[in-house]
Structure 1
Amino acid sequence: MVKQLLAVLALWLAGPACALQPCRIEVVDAENGWPVPLVELTTTHNVRFVTDNAGVVAFDLPELMGVETWLSVEGSGYSVAEDGFGYRGVRLTPRPGETRTVRVDRALPAKRLGRITGAGLFAESQKLGRELDWREQRVVGCDSVQNALHNGRLYWGWGDTALPGYPLGLFHMTGATTAARPLGSFEPPVRLRYDYVADQRGAPRAVAPLPGDGPTWLGGYASLPDAQGKNHLVACYAKIRPPLEAYETGLCVWNQQNQVFEKLRRLWTKSEAEPTPPPAPTGHAALWRDPSGADLLLFGDPLPSLSCPASFEAWSDPATWKILEPQVAVATRAGGQRVNPHRGAIAYSGYRQKWVAVFTQQGGEASLLGEIWYAEADSPLGPWGDAVHVATHPNYTFYNPQLHPEFTGPESPVLLFEGTYTHTFSGNPRPTARHDYNQVLYRLDLDELAAGGK
């Protein structure tokens, strides 16, 4: 008995000096039980927590432990029902070392799988002693993505890239490779690791340091065979000067030995006589065999605006390019509305036996550039229609979405897409910690879309 009393006394004396153990709060989709990343939980005194890729926050506020607490819930398409005063949130009582569960409803078809770039993908879980095998990759932010399957690997390229060591990061594209199908599961939590092109210290480095002032942006990644059967990874470049003005465009080719893109030819230099760039093979590329049996590469962002024969020689020669007129607006399935695409990508779905597109709406209701739509067509040249609103990011931006049919295969009923989640252009002065200026991955279930379900 004396020993037990002494043990209790020792714990009582040590208690004030011990760190407070957080309360684990998990946010799950009420429909399927999946964890939901990127959900904000905010207290009445404006402390904000954001769920990580495991749908978890480590609630560590000492002033609210053991106290019934209201948490406002906002999840860009995930939330809870309004109460009588119009508030959306939950009441719970956090306690150290315990778990509380918040169930949210998904408003639109796209299921959020998680963030696939940046730092702290599992930071909240790691505060709780979980996901400790996840290792950071020395990048905190990545702008718009480019992809191409090349010689059995999936090549990745990102625009301006933020690093932890200084406010100014990398401005001549960063690059990496993965397996062609890099995910073992299409359910959250998503864990996507890259083999970055790195410097001697092992840190990601620029892969397109093309000559000229200002950043280098690349688009239109593609892998094309030459007449001898050798594959070339190619892209269209733009040189940029402040604020966001292109002053030179051209073609570049990947040097595998040096792990950099090298200029092949200049297409245009800004001048009074030629103030705007001519059409070029940029945006995202899609391979198409046309009705005559010719293999063509289509370039668009989202809908095709240029085509060329699918060979390195043809891509290199503007005389072989054909300028296309992309559809300006797409009719919705619900009718009565036409949606103007901003940026996006197309791919062929063997499951739907149609061409499919995912794009950002220009001037949406809930956000200027944060509303994502899905559409279909029998031909990549259109007409495109049957558009469905699949994801929303109120008062935020989700631009330059990219499809990933290579992740799942063309016959799969699952279609994945990613895009850049950022407060830029939204008017929202409050960026979401860790998530802002990064790529977020979503899942569409095509059988549900075809049936008209959520």
Structure 2
Amino acid sequence: MNASINHHESNRVARSPSARGNRTLVDRPSCVDVLIARKNALVRRLGRAAAVVCAAALCAGGTAVLNKAAENRKRLKSHSCAIGRFAALAAASVIVWNYLDSVAGRSGLGVIAPTALHAAETEREPPQGSAKSGYFGIQVVDAETGRGVPLVELRTVNHASYWTDSAGWAAVNEPGLAGREVFFHVGGPGYEHPADGFGYRGVRLRVEPGRTAAVRVRRTNIAERLYRITGQGIYRDSLLLGRPTPASSLKRRGGVMGQDSVQAVPYRGQLFWLWGDTSLPDYPLGNFQTTAAFAPLPGDGGYLPQEDIPLDYLLDEKRPDRVRAMCPWNEPGMIWLFGLLTINDPQGRETLVAHYSRQKSLAERAEHGLARFDDAAGRFVKLAVFDAGNRWRHPRGNAVRVREPEGEYFYFVEQWASTRVPARWEALLDPDQYEAFRYDPAAADYRWQKAEPPFAPEDEHRLLAEGKMKPERARLLLRDPAGGRTIVPHRASIQWNAYRKRWIMIFTQYGDKQAESFLGEVWYSEAEQITGPWNAAVKIASHPKYSFYNPRHHPFFDEASGRVVYFEGTYTEMFSGNPVATPRYDYNQLLYRLDLDDPRLRAARAAVATR
């Protein structure tokens, strides 16, 4: 069974008449029902804002409601001294209004909480398998799609946190809270719950073991978060609650706890996946010699990328509970593989090749060159060792194969597509065949050349500031149309998109001190050529005070002729300044989906220029 069952099933429950008729989160007197009816009539006749002004009339018949608000009387009395009786009555109206909203299943006062989503609904009967577990289940769902939302925090007033799993479920087992009404603050990157009259974004639920509740949130990101691809406990809470999960959720994953920086390419009828440093459960230092997995191509394997990627990890032969070290070269240092690509070798066999880098530290390299995948051994072997002084004449970032009038090239994308090499075996192995894209002051334009390293965005910005480059010659003058700020890419993924008939770039930003995160803001841009000009960018995802780096757009997952695209990246507290790591999610890959027809992307389309 797949994850979509969770979303459809919960959606049916949330919308069913029995569920609507069983809102028992708050025991309310019958007179409150009358007041709610009067309030709703005011809204229909006068509109929400005008109805609030008239809400004071509800106080006359609202003895039961005012008793509920007794705890606020002292505060209202002090308000009376300061702002007068009229203001106190208005404050009472706000309290009454929000209380009526809360018991009717809505959020708060219109001006304070503009989004009137239903906050929560409970099932009359416990779901199968959850009653014995003793857990209270909460599913956070997208208010627009009904799909469960991963990476949303539910936090009690004493700061006990529950993070939703990849199906949006959180399993709560707190003996001290059982049978009580509990307020949960609700929030997660790119999703929010409407605020009540006091500014709190959350819901009050009666915690009953064996029962469930649905909480709706509004997506503020343009991109939709789907699930966590890697790590342990991806569907932990769903399993605790006895909910359906994808078939692959119980497959052996080699003890993977966390994985950094993905590469993925179609290879011999399958998808080949590659990650860098990998955390394992038995010690903080896990596999630092690269990890790999296979997965079927979508359609062939009977799966949809929106629901699951059935990864089949390559495991250690001697310890099948651990992933296999893909570069076990008995030399000190971390080994990273980037620029992964497929190419035919001299015998015409399709071969996996990548640039390897053996690192002394994050910044210091001990050795580098090319490695190829040995299918028989199931590991990478060295293909060529490059000179230590070779800083750019090799595959880097993610590789894109492009057909040009003069032949096929591999373009390599880090901050942008700034290096390339002819897509031939002998050229790939020859550093002298690599070219860099660089601004030529004499020609007053960019050109491909072999002598100097490629231009970075900072180089272009410096020439613009010095007046040595005209703005119309810039290739990376990325600006946010909403705020006008310049956006500097950190790492990017560029692919041709058949639907837009343009090159599209998904990238993370860095260097903006006003941004919500140092490396967690994800942007979208379009261009006529792979080298730009890249002019405008629209933010599609934000991860406040967290990092989301090395994004990868997977074109083999594109749907609807390219209208819908999928991308992932590494979600981690590293480089964020946040001392608190998100349990289970940290240092793992998150998958997002983006609809290119979203009207909020128009600004990126309109700014496309030809060169």
Whether TM exceeds 0.5 here: the answer is yes
Match of 2:243 among 110, 120, 130: 130
**Aligned counterparts, 1:43-442, within 5 A:** 43-131=156-244, 134-135=249-250, 136-137=252-253, 138-181=255-298, 184-187=303-306, 190-200=307-317, 201-202=319-320, 203-210=322-329, 212-242=331-361, 244-269=363-388, 274=389, 277-290=391-404, 292-324=405-437, 325=454, 328=457, 329=476, 330-334=478-482, 336-364=484-512, 365-408=515-558, 411-442=561-592
How far did residue 204 of structure 1 move?
Answer: 1.2
Alignment partner, residue 11 of structure 1: none
Distance (Å, rounded) in 1 between the aligned partners of 2:573 and 2:340: 26
The one-letter code matched in structure 2 to 1:168 is L
Distance (Å, rounded) in 2 between the aligned partners of 1:117 and 1:377: 32
How far did residue 185 of structure 1 move?
Answer: 2.8
Determine helix, strand or coil for the equivalent of 2:289.
coil
The one-letter code matched in structure 2 to 1:371 is E
Partners of 2:369 and 2:382 within 8 A in 1:
yes
Structure 2 CA distance for partners of 1:289 and 1:80, relative to 1, 3 Å: same
Determine helix, strand or coil for the equivalent of 1:308.
strand
Partners of 2:393 and 2:431 within 8 A in 1:
no
Q: Which moved more, 1:276-285 or 1:411-420?
A: 276-285
Partners of 2:499 and 2:563 within 8 A in 1:
yes
Partners of 1:117 and 1:139 within 8 A in 2:
yes
Distance (Å, rounded) in 2 between the aligned partners of 1:307 and 1:47: 51
Partners of 2:305 and 2:557 within 8 A in 1:
no
Distance (Å, rounded) in 2 between the aligned partners of 1:285 and 1:451: 25
The one-letter code matched in structure 1 to 2:387 is W
Q: Extract unaligned runs of 5+ from structure 1.
A: 1-17
Distance (Å, rounded) in 1 between the aligned partners of 2:480 and 2:399: 25
Distance (Å, rounded) in 2 between the aligned partners of 1:333 and 1:220: 32
Distance (Å, rounded) in 1 between the aligned partners of 2:270 and 2:599: 30
Determine helix, strand or coil for the equivalent of 1:375.
strand
How far did residue 366 of structure 1 move?
Answer: 0.6
Structure 2 CA distance for partners of 1:278 and 1:405, relative to 1, 3 Å: closer
Q: Which moved more, 1:47-56 or 1:172-181?
A: 172-181
Partners of 1:362 and 1:369 within 8 A in 2:
yes
Distance (Å, rounded) in 2 between the aligned partners of 1:211 and 1:305: 33
How far did residue 227 of structure 1 move?
Answer: 4.3
Structure 2 CA distance for partners of 1:199 and 1:413, relative to 1, 3 Å: same
How far did residue 19 of structure 1 move?
Answer: 7.4
Q: Deviation string for 1:196-252 (max 9, x for gaps)? A: 111223231110123532110110000012344222110001111135422322111
Determine helix, strand or coil for the equivalent of 1:336.
coil
Determine helix, strand or coil for the equivalent of 1:125.
helix
Partners of 1:326 and 1:381 within 8 A in 2:
no
Structure 2 CA distance for partners of 1:253 and 1:34, relative to 1, 3 Å: same
Which is higher, the Rg of structure 1 or of structure 2? 2
Partners of 2:303 and 2:309 within 8 A in 1:
no
Alignment partner, residue 83 of structure 2: none
The one-letter code matched in structure 2 to 1:361 is Q
Structure 2 CA distance for partners of 1:217 and 1:376, relative to 1, 3 Å: same
How far did residue 156 of structure 1 move?
Answer: 0.8
Q: Deviation string for 1:132-181 (max 9, x for gaps)? A: 65314121111111112222221111101011222221000001111122
Distance (Å, rounded) in 2 between the aligned partners of 1:230 and 1:405: 23
How far did residue 450 of structure 1 move?
Answer: 6.8
How far did residue 431 of structure 1 move?
Answer: 0.8
Q: Deviation string for 1:387-429 (max 9, x for gaps)? A: 1100011111101111111112692211000000111111111
Q: Deviation string for 1:38-79 (max 9, x for gaps)? A: 101111111100101110001111211222211111210101
How far did residue 335 of structure 1 move?
Answer: 6.0
Distance (Å, rounded) in 1 between the aligned partners of 2:316 and 2:384: 27
Structure 2 CA distance for partners of 1:225 and 1:243, relative to 1, 3 Å: closer
Distance (Å, rounded) in 2 between the aligned partners of 1:379 and 1:20: 56
The one-letter code matched in structure 2 to 1:248 is E
Distance (Å, rounded) in 2 between the aligned partners of 1:398 and 1:92: 32
Q: Extract unaligned runs of 5+ from structure 2.
A: 1-130, 438-453, 458-475, 604-611
Q: RCO (CA 8 Å, sep 6+): is it higher in 1 or 2? A: 1
For normalisation by structure 1, the TM-score amounts to 0.89
Structure 2 CA distance for partners of 1:96 and 1:174, relative to 1, 3 Å: same
Distance (Å, rounded) in 2 between the aligned partners of 1:73 and 1:363: 30
Distance (Å, rounded) in 2 between the aligned partners of 1:405 and 1:70: 42
Determine helix, strand or coil for the equivalent of 1:411.
helix
Structure 2 CA distance for partners of 1:183 and 1:415, relative to 1, 3 Å: farther
Partners of 1:304 and 1:326 within 8 A in 2:
no
Distance (Å, rounded) in 1 between the aligned partners of 2:308 and 2:188: 20
Partners of 1:327 and 1:384 within 8 A in 2:
no
Partners of 2:343 and 2:351 within 8 A in 1:
yes
Q: Deviation string for 1:75-100 (max 9, x for gaps)? A: 10101123344332222222111111
How far did residue 344 of structure 1 move?
Answer: 2.2
Aligned residues: 429
For normalisation by structure 2, the TM-score amounts to 0.67
The one-letter code matched in structure 1 to 2:304 is S
Distance (Å, rounded) in 1 between the aligned partners of 2:274 and 2:456: 27
How far did residue 338 of structure 1 move?
Answer: 1.8
The one-letter code matched in structure 1 to 2:377 is N
Distance (Å, rounded) in 2 between the aligned partners of 1:239 and 1:44: 47
The one-letter code matched in structure 2 to 1:255 is D
Match of 1:443 among 588, 593, 598: 593
Partners of 2:181 and 2:204 within 8 A in 1:
yes
Q: Percentage identity across aligned positions?
A: 42
